[in-house]
Amino acid sequence: MKFGKEFASQMVPEWQEAYMNYNFLKTLINDIHLFKQRTNKPSTAIPENLKRNQTLFRAFSGLTHFARHSPKTPSDVENQVILVNNVNRNGVDGSETMFLMAGDEGGEYEMVYFRRLDDEFNKVITFYRSKVEEVMKEAEVLNKQMEALIAFRVKVEHPNGWISSLEERKTLATDVKATARAELLDATRLAAQRSRRAPVDVIDEESSINIRESDESNQEIQELNQNEFRAKRPAPLEILQNIRFNTVQVTPRLTIKGFLNLAIQTDLKFTKENLKKAEERLIKAFVEFYHKLRLLKGYSFLNIMAFSKIMKKYDKISSRSASKSYMKMVDNSYLGSSDEVNKLMERVEVTFIKHFSNSNRSKGMNMLRPKKKKELHRVTFSTGFLVGCTVSLILALILIVRARKILDEQGPILYMETMFPLYSLFGFIVLHMLMYAGNIYFWRRYRVNYSFIFGFKPGTELGYREVLLFGFSLSVLALASVLANLDMEMDPVTLDYKAITELLPLGLVVLVVVIMVCPLNIIYRSSRYFLLVCLFHSILAPLYKVTLPDFFLADHLTSQVQALRSVEFYICYFGWGDYKHRQNSCGDSDVFNTFSFIIAGVPYWWRLLQCLRRLYDEKDAMQGYNGVKYFLTIVAVCARTAYTLDKGATWRIIALITSVFATIISTYWDIVVDWGLLQRKSKNQWLRDKLLIPHKSAYFVAIGLNVLLRLAWMQTVMNVTVFSLHRQAMTTLVASLEIIRRGIWTFFRLENEHLNNVGKFRAFKTVPMPFNYDEDEDKDE
């Protein structure tokens, strides 16, 4: 792999603007190369058949040959190409390179190259210094948190032990003195034994040496013991008087108390449960901090390598020797010579291993280092196998329907009214999972850091292969259930067992629910738990603080209204006993029709409450406007539902007006706010300044599809049918188009979020600390 591609692949995605622009400098070198090709006369070319033969006669330099560096002669100084000076501009160190061969032919190209090279180096060193200053400040915060944790741990483990830190110091100091006296006596005895066996003329000399050595060893022992005393000394318990628990309002009870301005108990309770919570938070903070240090170290290494590569390329093209002088400046600069990050990494490792892994280095380093997701071959094989099974089952279903002429009988109408709504639920879920798998594939291809944006635990995020495995597994089970249902219904032997055949989709739903809530560590438990937590937060909005995964899931639930109605139909069909006779009397029930209104607006209601919560927390007016958009959508959806049930002219006009208004606002919000497109002053006309997809036409196609698929609601009002499809089939088709639209929206929404993180160089999540110092509160006030 060429260095340019390797360099781009190892960049931190959110920091890509802060790296050295290797490709741009490479184009400047190519300009120099093209100029030399135009001006230089062609030399006598060596025949191709002689090139390899000439290399055979070159002298062997030896594997252990080292170049002998002779002192510089005046001619070497005169042949210098560049002169690199360190400059300080606005308090920031940088470099300024003077090209000494400007009078040569084409020297202006090389002057431009070195000017841009200095700009890139100054950009890199400025960013690196700022990030190092940030981590040093964070290290101070972590240091204070560790002091509080150690004192808290001492108080929990020894509630009736040390009374004050003064007594601790006295006890430890006594132990140190006793240890020093014992070691001094041992050294004196050893010296006396040696003196008895030594010659007489050496006794005096050795005794004096032993005395001096004993004095020096005594001093060294005291220094070591003092250092050991500092290392083993528990943190002063007076720290606990100035700290409080840093409560994060993540529970409904704390949210209600905060909204009502009630006092929240933040006093320290010295229990093992609180100690465990504090340790868990600090472990997350240390892991995130260590990850930041690793990326910062990699940033320095990659940029130094990039400068080395680009200077070697310059030397090769220009036939000069400038890389040595420039790289000497790079190595002596803050980027190449500072070791704050390395020292800080060592201190973090020592501290973490000692306090969080019981001095077990392998265990501690496994916790600190990021866990890479392993691509398993069996997942790929299983996914391919299930795809083949899905295609086979679909073909078998078509052949059975055609061979037995099921469509020519009275059964299809009854089947579409009863069984089709039940099995369509699985179709919606599978289609949504396929769209999500496609999004993951393209996010990885265009280096969108989706795992960081969603906040997945490192090493547990699902790839597109795992999502496809889930999707096609569910499709195989659903299609097999459909075929079994048809076979049992058509077979004379099993024709009398209608009640059992009707229970197949219900059994499949129960199986999916059991897998989702299974507490065992199987079938990607962390991902299932993450999904359930986000769903729980969405249902209980606005009692939980809204995070991106929460409102992202709620947005997707707004596109699964028909799936929620299928769940309602499950409850009605199996709860009222209609499945025993394959009859559908749900449409005649007022309760069922009432819940049709509620279910149609519930996902939008969740999003409205989330917008109100974000408006309260963030004081952002845009969240208020977003809430108005969802309120209008609720009105439009309820009006369309009323028209579907009533079929009156009045409801038709109301549904048309509200739907048009809600569609215009939602489409504008999708394209302009969520996607960040249609910017007039953008360098990419009517798009945005930064684009991840190289083909601009993809964005315009996405805009067009979003507008067209947004108009799918017109089928409800206009009663549009395609190929004389049944009403249930047409409803399912429209719902599937909405899921496809949401899948397209998802990719560009996350792309815009990623680019916003890139613009702010935000590559790490903020981890709340367990303790809050009183002085920190005073500073905040």
pLDDT tens-digit map of 668-695: 999 999 999 999 888 898 999 999 999 9
For residue 780, what pLDDT is reported?
Answer: 45
Confidence of residue 136 (pLDDT cuts 50, 70, 90): very high
User: Higher model confidence: residue 640 or residue 210?
Assistant: 640
Question: Would you put residue 455 in left (φ > 0), alpha (ψ -120 to 50) or beta?
Answer: left
Residue 635 has pLDDT above 50, yes or no: yes
Distance in angstroms (rounded) separating the CA atoms of residues 289 and 135: 8
Confidence of residue 236 (pLDDT cuts 50, 70, 90): low
What is the Cβ-side half-sphere exposure of residue 290, based on CA atoms within 13 angstroms? 22
What is the Cβ-side half-sphere exposure of residue 738, based on CA atoms within 13 angstroms? 23
Q: Can you read off the two tokens belonging to residue 330?
A: 């790079």
Q: What angle do CA 285, 291, 295 make, to 5 degrees?
A: 145
The most confident of 171-185, 232-246, 317-331, 537-551, by mean pLDDT:
537-551
Question: What is the average pLDDT across 488-506?
Answer: 71
Q: What is the pLDDT of residues 546-567, one digit of tens each?
A: 999 999 999 999 999 999 999 9
Q: What is the pLDDT of residues 477-492, one digit of tens each?
A: 999 998 888 777 666 6
For residue 419, what pLDDT is reported?
Answer: 82
Distance in angstroms (rounded) separating the CA atoms of residues 224 and 213: 16
Average pLDDT across the chain, whole number? 80
For residue 343, what pLDDT is reported?
Answer: 92
Distance in angstroms (rounded) separating the CA atoms of residues 703 and 710: 11
Q: Can you read off the two tokens belonging to residue 685?
A: 């006309």
Residue 406 has pLDDT above 80, yes or no: no
Confidence of residue 204 (pLDDT cuts 50, 70, 90): very low
Question: 432, 426 in Cβ contact below 8 A?
Answer: no
Question: What is the average pLDDT across 585-591?
Answer: 80
Distance in angstroms (rounded) separating the CA atoms of residues 584 and 569: 9
Question: Would you put residue 676 in left (φ > 0), alpha (ψ -120 to 50) or beta?
Answer: left
Confidence of residue 135 (pLDDT cuts 50, 70, 90): very high
> For residue 579, what are the contacts with CB-CB under 8 A and spacing of at least 6?
418, 499, 502, 503, 506, 573
Least confident of 106-115, 430-439, 708-717, 768-777: 768-777
Residue 147 has pLDDT above 60, yes or no: yes
Confidence of residue 224 (pLDDT cuts 50, 70, 90): very low
Question: What is the average pLDDT across 501-517?
Answer: 91
Distance in angstroms (rounded) separating the CA atoms of residues 323 and 79: 14
Q: Can you read off the two tokens belonging to residue 725?
A: 């499809």
The residues with which 88 forms a beta bridge, in sequence order, are 93
For residue 166, what pLDDT is reported?
Answer: 46
Question: What is the DSSP-derived secondary structure letter of residue 81?
Answer: -
Q: What is the pLDDT of residues 290-324, one digit of tens each?
A: 999 999 999 999 999 999 999 999 888 888 888 88
Sign of the Cα torsion 298, 304, 310, 316 reads negative
For residue 507, what pLDDT is reported?
Answer: 92
Confidence of residue 167 (pLDDT cuts 50, 70, 90): very low
Confidence of residue 229 (pLDDT cuts 50, 70, 90): very low
Residue 396 has pLDDT above 80, yes or no: yes
Residue 64 has pLDDT above 50, yes or no: no
Residue 704 has pLDDT above 80, yes or no: yes
Q: What is the pLDDT of residues 118-128, one digit of tens each?
A: 899 999 999 99
Q: Scanning the structure block, which residue is given the tokens 């009398």?
A: 496
Q: What is the pLDDT of residues 366-383, one digit of tens each?
A: 888 877 777 778 999 999
The most confident of 369-373, 407-411, 658-662, 728-732, by mean pLDDT:
658-662
For residue 332, what pLDDT is reported?
Answer: 87
For residue 44, what pLDDT is reported?
Answer: 44
Question: What is the average pLDDT across 741-747?
Answer: 96
Q: What angle do CA 511, 515, 520 make, to 5 degrees?
A: 140
User: Higher model confidence: residue 764 or residue 29?
Assistant: 29
Share of the chain above pLDDT 70, in %: 76
Q: What angle do CA 619, 622, 626 make, to 5 degrees?
A: 120
Confidence of residue 248 (pLDDT cuts 50, 70, 90): low
Confidence of residue 102 (pLDDT cuts 50, 70, 90): low
Residue 51 has pLDDT above 60, yes or no: no
Burial category of 613 from C-beta neighbours within 10 Å (exposed 0-12, middle 13-18, buried 19 and up)? buried
For residue 43, what pLDDT is reported?
Answer: 44
Helices 165-197 and 200-232 meet at what angle, rounded to 10?
160
For 445-449, which contacts have Cβ atoms below 8 Å and span 24 or more sequence positions?
446/692, 446/693, 446/751, 447/13, 447/692, 448/13, 448/692, 448/750, 448/751, 448/754, 449/13, 449/14, 449/754, 449/757, 449/763
Residue 629 has pLDDT above 90, yes or no: yes
Share of the chain above pLDDT 90, in %: 38
Locate all alpha helices (DSSP H) within 404-517, ordered by sequence: 411-445, 450-454, 464-490, 498-502, 504-516
Residue 46 has pLDDT above 70, yes or no: no
For residue 720, what pLDDT is reported?
Answer: 63
Residue 414 has pLDDT above 80, yes or no: no
Confidence of residue 219 (pLDDT cuts 50, 70, 90): low
For residue 319, what pLDDT is reported?
Answer: 84
Question: 440, 463 in Cβ contact below 8 A?
Answer: yes
Least confident of 529-533, 591-595, 635-639: 591-595
